[in-house]
Amino acid sequence: MNAIDFRRVLIVDDSSSVRHQVSKILSQAGFHVLEAVDGVDGAEQIRAQADLALVICDVNMPKLNGLDLLDSVKDELLARGLPVLMLTTEGQPQAILRAKKSGAKAWIVKPFKEHVLVGAVQKLTQYRP
């Protein structure tokens, strides 16, 4: 099993603005952020990047939405103990429950506050500089 880099985070969102937001905030907090532009790209990067400490994932995306992405990599997430934080406008309880069953560990409803995102990421990665 590859060693995890506790600072390495993947953001999966079709909005370049959101990817920029998350990347800037987390970089300033000491994390190294990779980006995926949609669910298909996200699934590929999750499988390819063996040392990820956390995935941050939107729900409503073209090609493959975030919940379907979770289902597609569920076994991979479990085997690696890789946590997922959903970052989305979605607030439907059924969606949250479905994400939880597929391995998501946290859920933030956009728009988000910087300290909320950083605190959640630090807790899930167990990394604090």
Partner 1 sequence: MTEPSEPGELTQAGAPSANLTILARTLEQSCVELLRDYGLVARIQGETLFSDPPTSTYAGSVDFSGKEIKGRVLFCASRQVIEETARGAAGMQGEFSAFSDWTCELANQLIGRVKNKLRSYDVQIDVNAPRLLPRSSVNHAEPGVRFSFRCDAGTFSGFLDVLIAPGVVLRERLSDEPLVQEGDLIFL
| Interaction between residue 60 and partner 1 (CB under 8 A) | yes
| Interaction between residue 109 and partner 1 (CB under 8 A) | yes
Cα distances from 81 to residues 42, 78, 108, 109, 122, in angstroms, run 17, 5, 20, 23, 16
98 residue type, one letter: R
Q: Which alpha helices (H) appear in the chain, and where do they start and end?
A: 16-28, 39-48, 66-72, 74-80, 93-101, 114-125
For residues 2 and 17, which CB has a smaller minimum distance to partner 1 in the complex? 17
The sign one gets for the Cα dihedral 29, 122, 119, 114 is positive
Which one of 4-12, 20-28, 49-57, 72-80 is the stretch in contact with partner 1 (CB under 8 A)?
Answer: 20-28
| Interaction between residue 69 and partner 1 (CB under 8 A) | no
| Interaction between residue 62 and partner 1 (CB under 8 A) | yes
Residue keyed to tokens 């379907």: 68
Which one of 1-9, 19-27, 46-54, 70-78 is the stretch in contact with partner 1 (CB under 8 A)?
Answer: 19-27
Binding site for partner 1 (CB under 8 A): 14-18, 20-25, 60-62, 88-93, 96, 99-100, 104-114, 116-117, 119-120, 123
